[in-house]
Amino acid sequence: MDARSLLTNARGVVRRDRTAVARKSLVRSVLVVDIGGTRVKILASGHKIHRSFPSGPKLTPKEMVSGVKRLAADWAYDTVSIGYPGPVLQGRPIAEPYNLGSGWVGFDFAAAFGRPVKVINDAAMQALGSYRGGKMLFLGLGTGLGSTMIVDGIVEPMELGHLPYKKGTYEDYIGKAGLERRGRKKWRRDVADVVARLIAALEPEDTVLGGGNVHKLKALPPHCRAGDNDNAFRGGFRLWEQTTVPGAKIAPKNGPE
């Protein structure tokens, strides 16, 4: 899919431009920051190898920005894309991350970086980089369970991992804690069961399994393809490769406004 066919509004919702009548943004270079529960990974336009540093349950946004700046000191970039491990509304985190420190809600990322910043849910960013068209379900098997739907170019980040499952939630069983607690054999069985349930409920045309633990599956569940973690960087670049089409409509995220 041509990255120029994507539209992004202030909420981080992305829509595909079907009219192909507008021109590409003039942004020169982008720094993509993918914040995970165990590592923060970065990549800038024009570079092929990403860099990273540890995150963890005490990482604050100020520490994240400092770490990114140190790691990217020899890279030139005009803008920043951030994949945030939690819900995002109007380009801002609306809840503290489960696996990191505090202070993320209300933090001014643009002021901290001194550049324009776009923040999107981390699973949505990887989903955007994986998207090929139609109706796609993305599930990220990592520290938790990331989830996003993209339908005809409209990105809808979701929190499916917190839905009830057995004696806990989906995330309790197929996130990192479930893998460590129950072992690979039971974890793989739970992944297959959860993926089958979500496919049956949401009826996607394309299902992508991404995240750092997808390679621990012996075989992919039926009707799935494996994503690549590097797709998160592609999604971050696509956020700034937007076009503008007069009259484009964005589906409301939380009901009528």
Domain ranges (residues) in the chain: 3-125+232-238, 133-228
Mean pLDDT of 98-106: 94
pTM of this structure: 0.80
pLDDT at residue 174 tops 60: yes
Cβ atoms 125, 34 nearer than 8 A: yes
Sorted by sequence, the CB contacts under 8 Å of residue 116 that are 6+ apart come out as 78, 79, 80, 110
When mean pLDDT is compared across 20-34, 92-106, 163-177, 224-238, the lowest value belongs to 20-34
User: Tell me, what's the pLDDT at 248?
Assistant: 24
Going by CATH, does the domain composed of 3-125+232-238 fall within 3.40.50.720? Answer: no
pLDDT at residue 8 tops 70: no
Mean pLDDT of 163-188: 97
Q: Which CATH class is domain 133-228?
A: alpha beta
Q: Which helix (H) or strand (E) holds 69?
A: helix 61-71
- Half-sphere exposure (Cβ direction) of 214: Cα atoms closer than 13 Å: 20
User: Tell me, what's the pLDDT at 15?
Assistant: 52
> In degrees rounded to 5, what are phi and psi of residue 235?
-65, -40
- The CA–CA distances, whole Å, from 211 to 56, 57, 80, 122, 226 equal 17, 19, 21, 10, 9
Is residue 196 classed exposed, middle or buried when 0-12, 13-18 and 19+ CB atoms within 10 A define those classes?
A: middle
Cβ atoms 58, 101 nearer than 8 A: yes
pLDDT at residue 16 tops 60: no
pLDDT at residue 70 tops 60: yes
Assign 246 to helix, strand or coil: coil
User: Tell me, what's the pLDDT at 229?
Assistant: 80
The residue among 26 and 194 whose pLDDT is bigger is 194
Quick one: which of 136, 115, 131, 146 has its CA closest to 212? 146
Find where tokens 């643009």 sit.
Answer: 110
3-125+232-238 and 133-228: same fold?
yes
> In degrees rounded to 5, what are phi and psi of residue 79?
-140, 170
User: Tell me, what's the pLDDT at 172?
Assistant: 96
